[in-house]
Structure formats: C-alpha cells, structure tokens
Structure 1
C-alpha cells in the first residue's frame, strides 16, 4: 500500500509541476504578445492617419463596365479617396497607381448599344460575328467562331442563310444566347 500512495504523490506532484510550467510559459507568451500588439497598435494609428490624409486627396477613378457582348463602357471622374469606400461590392479594383484607380464591374447582360443596334451575322471568311449595325456597315463588336458555310447552305433554308448574311437583329441576352447556340452546331472543328 505504501508503494501505491508514493506513486499517487509522485503523479500528483508531476501534474502540479506541469500546470505551473504551462502557466509560466503562457504568461511569458502573453506578455510578448501584448508588447507586439502595442507596437502594432501604434503602427496602425500611423496608417490610419496616413489614409485619412490621403482621403482628402483627389484621385482619378475609372469605372469600367464589361458586358457579355464584349463591349466595355468607361466612366471617369475625380473623387476624394474617402468616397471610394462607399463603392458597391460588385466593383473590383483591377489597377491602382498614385494618380488613378481602375474598377471593373462584370454585367451579365448586353450593353445598351448592343440592345439598340446589335446584329449577328457573318464576317468575311464566314465567322459568326456581332456587329453594331448591319454586317454591311462592318462595325465589328465581337467575333465568335468560323462557321462551316457549306454545311449551313445544305442544312438551312436559303431564307435563313440570307437572314444571317444580312444580319439577325439582337435585342436582348436571350436572343444573343439563342443565336450562339443555334449556329454553334455549325462551327468548324
């Protein structure tokens, strides 16, 4: 029985020594962390002051709006830096210098210009193309893929082929996607 009591005291002593060791180590680490935190806090204060000073500086901001149809609209303005924090989360900062910041917003729709005057047709060489105005005006917005014109001629009625050559009016995203999927079957491999 004495051996059992002696082992219990040794185990209890080792456990107590371990707890004290962990406590002392934790205290040392906590003190070091507090010192580092205090240093960071002072540095953070300096950064905040620098940012506040910059907030009063005007900067050129470019807002790019990129549409599915390949059109990118740009809006430029000069603003104070502190106003930039009020931007929607939809805007992504893509480039920043000390003179200019460029933000991009992807829009899952056609650009207003494409809705107003977009035509799908064939460019020279038989490439399916989105034009601003009829294909005869040759104002290319976006090119897609070359079409197998021989297969088109043999598979489609001549009226539909003529319509594609003269340009199919595109007014919305659904029509745009429909034309791409319809003529995608005729893409050259």
Structure 2
C-alpha cells in the first residue's frame, strides 16, 4: 500500500478514535447539566488541535517577512562593503538550503560588482562571506532537494525518536531528529501495518508528504502524550 493511502486510512482511524472519546465523555456526563456536557466536548475537541497550536507557536516566534527582508538587506550591504575594500576576488558559490538537503554550485571568482549583479539576478539569496575568503549566495527553499526526494525515509531511531534518514532506517544514517515517540501509545493506537512501515521506513518524495508525516506522528510525541 502506498504511503498516501496509508496516511489517509491512519487519519480516518484517528478521527474515529476521537469520536469514540467524545461519545465516552458524553456518556460519563449524562447525569450532569448541559453546560457541563458542553465543557467536556470542548476539552475533547482540543485534543485534535494540539499539533496546530504548537505550529502556531512556532510560527509566532519567526520574524515577519518585512523583518526577514530587512535583515537580509543589511547582510547583503555589509558583505558588499567588505568586498569593495578588497583587491582580490572571492570564489563564489550558490548555496541552496532545503528543508532536507543542500546543493552547492560553484560560480567562479567574483569581485564586488559581479557579486552585486548576481545578487540582483537572484533576489531571494543572502550574501555571506566565508572564513576562508569564500562568497556564498545563500537561498533557503521550502522543499526537498532532489537527492532527498530519492533517498529520504522517515523512521524510528534507537531512542524511539521520529527521524529522517538518508536511505532506509536500518542503515542508521540520520539526517534530522524531530521528537521522541510514545511507542506504547503508538502501537496501541495504530494498525500493525503502519507500525511496520514506520520501522522499515516511510519514503517521502515531496514537501507535502514530508509535512504530513510530521503532522500525523506529532500526535504520538512524548510531550503530547504527557499533556
């Protein structure tokens, strides 16, 4: 079964489980007033919104677009000012930093004028000067690199963390670790097929699948389970 189909089934099971929890809460509150019943429903509904609340908190900590542009503009000006005071040209690189993966393209030696012209042609980049005289045009891209699209797998590492691997999890080549999973809660809540696929490796080939995996399994994070 493909991951997308498995994910759809998983989300259906989670929604069904939440409906059962809501029904149980209503039965327990049958002898209580209507206002008390409404309170129970509100609390049950909040369970499904915890991951969304965490996402909002994370985004709230990130500077706004205008602030990011201001910081980038200042960095570009400082780099160009430094280069204008130099006589030697710097080796230039276009560095693409993806959510998963990185690509580096050599541009050749550049002076301040050439660097400024290249930056105008690629306005999404930020100029950074390396310790060894390099010049980097850094571009952050909200996507997976081509290599990650071919080789990235989600799985569980030795410490029960949801991690992203270069290749199958059995190779233990961890790219990034996200959060620790409540394995007992996971096994008691999900079908064995989902558990087996998570241990053997869930292949992701685009940013939508990448985000879907993190969002789905965040419900089983240890921190979430303790709330």
Describe the shift of the 1:182–1:83 C-alpha distance in structure 2 as closer, same or farther (beyond 3 A).
same
Question: Which structure 1 residue ranges, 5 or more long, are not aligned?
Answer: 1-49
Contact 2:92 2:110 in 1 (8 A): no
Larger Rg: 1
TM-score norm. by structure 1 comes to 0.66
Please provide the CA RMSD for this pair: 2.3
Describe the shift of the 1:164–1:96 C-alpha distance in structure 2 as closer, same or farther (beyond 3 A).
closer
1:99 deviates by: 2.7
Is 1:140 aligned to residue 171 of structure 2? no
| Counterpart Cα distance in 2 of 1:178 and 1:120 | 11
Describe the shift of the 1:98–1:184 C-alpha distance in structure 2 as closer, same or farther (beyond 3 A).
closer
1:110 deviates by: 0.5
| Counterpart Cα distance in 1 of 2:158 and 2:130 | 40
Contact 1:58 1:78 in 2 (8 A): no
Contact 1:66 1:107 in 2 (8 A): yes
Match of 1:151 in 2: 185
| Counterpart Cα distance in 2 of 1:96 and 1:162 | 44
Match of 2:89 in 1: 58
| Counterpart Cα distance in 1 of 2:165 and 2:132 | 38
| Counterpart Cα distance in 2 of 1:98 and 1:117 | 32
Question: Which structure 2 residue ranges, 5 or more long, are not aligned?
Answer: 1-82
